[in-house]
């Protein structure tokens, strides 16, 4: 179940919405600033962030894939710890929450009404709640709205 959910999250949500940004002519990628803050956190590959990612960071595509796999496994395990019921639902629902946590953070998931809806098995409520997470630095972003719509569709 976890492997299937991670595969769905990667291929249906994370890769399409994060994109392989700042591709260099040789196929490597270079870090770029957060679109909401125009600075930190810097992102590389398919949306990977971390304290070691700076504006000068460059990865090969292989390294970007390895880091994406590692990050998705981490987020899958973290949301499963917070909401163990995710391990018993359809992989697509689990995938949507992996993608959400990947994008918004485990801490935000932990304190969210979205988590409360999921833990209660209220999938219609979860669809409504996930749509509220379409802002960066207080501004509604079209890309985040589209991503939340895609995630919400998997929660049905």
Active-site positions read 18
CB atoms within 10 A of CB 53: 19
* Residue 114 backbone phi and psi in degrees, to 5: -55, -50
The reply to whether omega before 33 is within 30° of 0 (cis) is no
* CB-based contacts of 114-119 (< 8 A; 24+ apart in sequence): 115/82, 115/83, 118/83, 118/85, 118/86, 119/83, 119/85
- Look up residue 90 and give its two tokens: 């359809």
Query: Do 82 and 109 meet the contact criterion of CB atoms below 8 Å apart?
Result: yes
* Residue 105 backbone phi and psi in degrees, to 5: 100, 150
What does the CA dihedral 124, 128, 129, 132 come to, rounded to 10 degrees?
A: 170
């Amino acid at each position: 179940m976890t492997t299937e959910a991670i595969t769905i999250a990667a291929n249906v949500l994370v890769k399409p919405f994060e994109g392989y940004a700042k591709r260099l002519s040789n196929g490597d990628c270079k870090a770029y600033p957060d679109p909401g803050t125009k600075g930190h956190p810097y992102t590389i590959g398919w949306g990977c962030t971390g304290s070691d990612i700076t504006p000068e960071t460059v990865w090969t595509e292989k390294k970007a894939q390895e880091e994406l796999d590692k990050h998705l496994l981490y987020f899958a395990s973290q949301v499963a710890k917070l909401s163990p019921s995710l391990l018993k639902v359809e992989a697509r629902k689990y995938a949507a929450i992996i993608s959400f946590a990947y994008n918004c953070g485990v801490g935000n998931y932990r304190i969210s009404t979205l988590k409360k809806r999921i833990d209660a098995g209220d999938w219609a409520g979860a669809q409504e709640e996930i749509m509220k997470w379409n802002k960066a630095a207080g501004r509604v972003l079209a890309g985040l709205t589209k991503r939340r719509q895609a995630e919400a569709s998997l929660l049905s």
